[in-house]
Amino acid sequence: MSAICLMACVPETTRVPAPTQGSPERSPKVATAAVAEATYRSYIEALNSDRATTNHTFEADQYLTGSALEGERLSRLQFEREGIRLDGAIRLDSLTPVRSDTSSLLGYVCLDVSETRVLDETETDVTPPDRTPVVGLEVMFLISGDTALISESKAKDGVCS
């Protein structure tokens, strides 16, 4: 589980269907944003599914690359050492594109973490009492056609209302 989600409360690559006959073509920026959002939704769903089972099969490299992948791996090791874990489901509240081109998208992601708790090794709730119900992230996606990988992710205050 991403350090950002645990501490602040962070893709099998997703395909977006091609326009059907008679439907308007989407602009490249709209298509890029749709691919990024679908990827992030799949990533969060996979994390939620993995947390809900004892048979952990989440493969971060299906969704992440670069510093996002390295951060995920280091965070998991740190949380194991500290005996903490996230309980409950995270929801993608919104993804707002900041800038994009045909090969990348930088966006602000707002995650609803209100239904999650941080638990220690004794199952004691150690969720920070002042944690906000929605966490903001700045996320970089690398786009290739109709697939995307999350390459960077960092906490970003003030991007979620």
Q: For 107-118, write each residue's pLDDT tens digit.
A: 999 999 999 999
Within a domain: residue 100?
A: yes
Can you give the residue range of the structural domain that contains 104?
3-16+26-155
Within a domain: residue 160?
A: no
pLDDT for 63: 96
Within a domain: residue 21?
A: no
For residue 138, the surrounding DSSP H or E stretch is strand 134-144
Q: Say how many domains are in the chain.
A: 1
Within a domain: residue 59?
A: yes
Given a cut of 60, is residue 16 above it in pLDDT? Answer: no
Within a domain: residue 136?
A: yes
Statement: the pTM of the whole predicted model exceeds 0.75: yes
What CATH number is associated with residue 99?
3.10.450
Backbone angles phi, psi at 132, to 5 degrees: -80, 150
Within a domain: residue 161?
A: no
Within a domain: residue 139?
A: yes
pLDDT for 57: 76
Given a cut of 70, is residue 54 above it in pLDDT? Answer: yes
**pLDDT band, residue 26 (cuts 50/70/90):** low
Residues 6+ apart with CB under 8 A from 37: 92, 95
Confirm if 105 and 69 have CB atoms less than 8 A apart.
no
